[in-house]
Chains A and B, each alone.
Chain A
Amino acid sequence: MTFIVSTVSRFLALFGLVMAAGTGSPLRAETLPMLPPLNPEPTGLTIPGKFVWSDLFAEDIDGAKRFYSSLLGWTWRTFGSGVDEYHIAYTDDRPIAGLVYREARAESGAEAGWIVYASAADPGALEARVAAAGGRMLVSPIEVPYRGTHAVYRDGEGALFGVLHSSTGDPGDYRAEYGEWVWTHLFSRDVRAAADFYSELLGYESLDIETTAEPNDFVLASGGHARAGIGAIGPDAPEGARPAWVGFLRVANVDAAAGLVEELGGSVLMLRDLNTFEGRVAVVADAAGATFGLISLNLEAVWDNREERQ
């Protein structure tokens, strides 16, 4: 995923929204209802650092559902009731993301935001190490029956991230289909420190990308696969840009999807070619300002050419 790291790093106009969405969120995870497991059957897999879940925090629940269903074909199921409702998006009966009510705050500059969750054996055990790096725990570990234990942290730079220990193991490493998460990227002011921090925290192998023109970018790998990228917030970033994690969804046609984002009331913050995989990438914001990415990748060709296939 070298290409994604180097590409996304060049486009930082998104930060005004990305970062605003990730600040000061009063996460109400303590009241989450009983949720279904990540996997229909136990996988027996433990893949530390693999990003296994994403939650969207938004005030307009119905609006968010309409937006993502129209854009990606997601279907929704609701768990719990009242203010404790938790909505899960599905594609082809596979759970993709959660949707949680969050009151919009004017000072944050955005009404909604995404939080990505990485696999960790003990979400609560990370608190001391996060604190030592200048971060803090925002949501204490919560055990949700059948689902697992999760916690939410803010790292030393202010980027929010979650960790989740799934009761049924981590999902297997399979090709992301259209409408599924395929990549996660951290925008950071100190990429080397961030790479060291997350490698130590979540067990990644940090790979400095020497083959691109951006030597400060890193790929975080675990279990033989690339899990995330880290790119620098460049000097051309808009004022007020702050570090944040951004998830990217796989789509068949990025240009068409980006156009649809605008039709649905969202905005396109970046759109360009990728260097490999015959891909395109876009960073967009939904109608409520939550920022996420869209990527088209020819993963089928990647698989056809991989030694892994043998």
Chain B
Amino acid sequence: MTAHGYRRLILTLTGGLIVAFAGLSTGCDSNSSRSSTSVYAGSSYYRGPGYYDPWYHRPYYGGGNTVIVNPPEHRPPVSRPPVNRPVRPAPMPTVPARPRPRGR
């Protein structure tokens, strides 16, 4: 291995340790701050799975297993019609149409 190769290896390992440490310490931060939705990992923020993540575009990126994303445990409330909406007879009442009995 040449000197250039060693320097390149050291830089790579150092960078990896820095990233690993940064991730570890950030994980501690994450545990102490559960409300945070983003994770700092080096020079970028991880914002959770999103539209631009590659597993949403597997055919484009090619290969890989099928990614199954489970729905969140707590779903947003579903909008429903108001409970106290006015009650309308169905169908709309009309004038009397019953034939009159004979003799009345």
Contact = CB atoms under 8 A, between A and B. Distances in A.
Contacts of B96: 173-176, 225
Interface string B63-103: 00000000000000000000000001100111111111100
B94 A226 contact: yes
Contacts, number: 57
Contact of B100 (A177, A221, A300): A177
B7 interface: no
A94 B47 CA distance: 83
A180 B92 CA distance: 23
B104 interface: yes
A31 to B, nearest CB: 32
Contact of A2 (B89, B92, B97, B99): B92
B98 A175 contact: yes
Given A172-B104, A207-B88, A302 B93 contact: no
Interface in A1-43: 1-2
Q: Which 7 A-B pairs have the closest CB atoms?
A: A173-B96, A174-B100, A303-B97, A302-B97, A221-B93, A299-B97, A226-B93
Given A172-B104, A221-B89, A303 B98 contact: yes
A184 B93 CA distance: 14
Interface residues of B, number: 13
A303 B96 CA distance: 9
B72 to A, nearest CB: 39
Contacts of B92: 2, 207, 209, 211, 219, 226
B95 A183 contact: yes
Contacts of A173: 96, 98
Is chain B's binding surface mostly helix, strand, loop or mixed? Answer: loop
A62 interface: no
B95 A182 contact: yes
Interface string A182-223: 110000000000000000000001010101000000010100
A225 B93 CA distance: 5
B104 A225 contact: no
A208 to B, nearest CB: 9
Contact of B94 (A172, A174, A209, A302): A302
Nearest to A301: B97
A77 interface: no
B87 to A, nearest CB: 10
A296 to B, nearest CB: 13
Contacts of B99: 174-175, 303
14 contacts: A1-B94, A173-B96, A174-B100, A177-B100, A205-B89, A207-B92, A219-B93, A224-B93, A297-B95, A299-B97, A300-B97, A302-B97, A303-B97, A303-B98
A72 B101 CA distance: 22
Contacts of A226: 92-95
Contacts of A297: 95
B103 to A, nearest CB: 9
Nearest to A171: B104
B97 A175 contact: yes
Contacts of B89: 205, 207, 221, 224
A308 B93 CA distance: 11
For B92, B95, B100, B104, the residue with the greatest tally of chain A CB atoms inside 10 Å of its CB is: B95
A291 to B, nearest CB: 20
A164 B68 CA distance: 74
A224 B88 CA distance: 12
Given A219-B93, A226-B93, A308 B98 contact: yes
Interface string B1-32: 00000000000000000000000000000000
A40 B50 CA distance: 81
